[in-house]
């Protein structure tokens, strides 16, 4: 499996510094948080986009995903959601990123009732994503936290340019067993990659170093290995939302070693 980390743990850090952290700590890829307060966002011009591509290419580090904040199940008009998503896809194409992350984001609408909205929007944008060579990935998150929730939407969309990110935290907090999450996301060709993380409990989600908390990381890696899955593992360390958390820069090297050790045990 290949290893990446998310820039959610490095708020506002310049692209060159992100790339150097990946290179020097042995990570092959980076998930870029795509937001106006970050160095990478849809407002970048052509030359700025080219500069980002060059920085990553120099160190042969992949841009795994643009982590957008598009909410495909949110109530309201489709037009602004689809417009934003197309802008994110165009940026991903220009940067050479394989994926764009989206959230469900149904809010107070029950998940089942919001499914048709998410299906309609993902189906509408999937051909455009296919033309660009980018895949739209629905994360197990918020209103649809489980693998079963994500798979229910993706099965109806039924397009190769849509898939899922298994955020290890949310199915676990929702009470879904890792084996059930894996089964749901591999029943179709949905699972693109897994976001790994750690925290002390379902109630206290302050990010911790990998292996220092209660999330079923070792169990999940065994399940993935036994299933023959060989995709990306991306460490999402949510320092942006938890300023009291330790600095990710000091945790990247031991985090990589912990993942490699678990993978060695799993095999």
From the list 61, 69, 21, the residue with the least C-alpha distance to 41 is: 69
Question: Looking at residue 121, what is its pLDDT?
Answer: 98
Give the Cα separation of 12 and 101 in Å (integer): 19
Looking at 3.30.1360.200, 3.30.930.10, 3.20.20.150, 3.40.630.190, the CATH number of the domain 2-266 comes to 3.20.20.150
The dihedral built from the CA positions of residue 236, 240, 241 and 246, taken in this order, carries a sign that is: positive
Question: Looking at residue 26, what is its pLDDT?
Answer: 98
Mean pLDDT by 10 residues, the chain (267 residues): 97 97 98 97 98 97 98 98 98 98 97 98 98 98 98 98 98 98 96 98 97 97 96 97 96 98 93
147-157 and 178-186 helices, crossing angle to 10°: 10
From the list 21, 49, 88, 80, the residue with the least C-alpha distance to 253 is: 21
Question: Looking at residue 35, what is its pLDDT?
Answer: 96
pTM of this prediction?
A: 0.97
Residues near 225 by beta carbon (within 8 Å), at least 6 away in sequence: 263, 266, 267
Cα-based distances in Å from 247 to 3, 72, 213, 243, 250: 19, 32, 16, 9, 6
What does the block give as tokens for 212?
């220092």
């Amino acid at each position: 499996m290949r290893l990446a980390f998310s820039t959610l743990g490095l708020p506002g850090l310049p692209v060159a510094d992100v790339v150097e952290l990946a290179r020097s700590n042995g990570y092959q890829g980076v998930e870029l948080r795509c937001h106006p307060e970050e160095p990478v966002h849809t407002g970048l011009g052509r030359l700025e986009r080219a500069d980002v591509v060059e920085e990553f290419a120099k160190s042969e580090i992949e841009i795994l995903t643009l982590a957008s904040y598009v909410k495909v199940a949110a109530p309201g008009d489709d037009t602004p959601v689809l417009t934003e998503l197309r802008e994110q896809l165009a940026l991903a194409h220009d940067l050479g990123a394989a994926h764009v992350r989206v959230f469900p984001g149904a809010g107070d609408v029950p998940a089942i009732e919001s499914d048709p909205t998410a299906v309609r929007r993902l189906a509408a944008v999937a051909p455009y994503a296919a033309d660009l060579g980018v895949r739209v990935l629905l994360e197990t998150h918020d209103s649809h936290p489980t693998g079963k929730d994500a798979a229910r939407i993706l099965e109806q969309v039924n397009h190769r340019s849509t898939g899922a990110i298994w955020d290890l935290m949310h199915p676990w907090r929702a009470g879904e067993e890792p084996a059930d999450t894996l089964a749901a996301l591999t029943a179709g060709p949905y699972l693109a990659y897994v976001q790994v993380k750690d925290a002390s409990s379902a109630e206290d989600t302050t990010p911790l170093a990998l292996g220092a908390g209660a999330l079923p990381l070792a169990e999940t890696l065994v399940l993935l290995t036994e299933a023959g899955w060989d995709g990306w593992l991306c460490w999402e360390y949510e320092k942006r939302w938890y300023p009291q958390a330790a600095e990710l820069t000091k945790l990247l090297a031991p985090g990589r070693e912990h993942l490699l050790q678990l993978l060695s045990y799993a095999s």
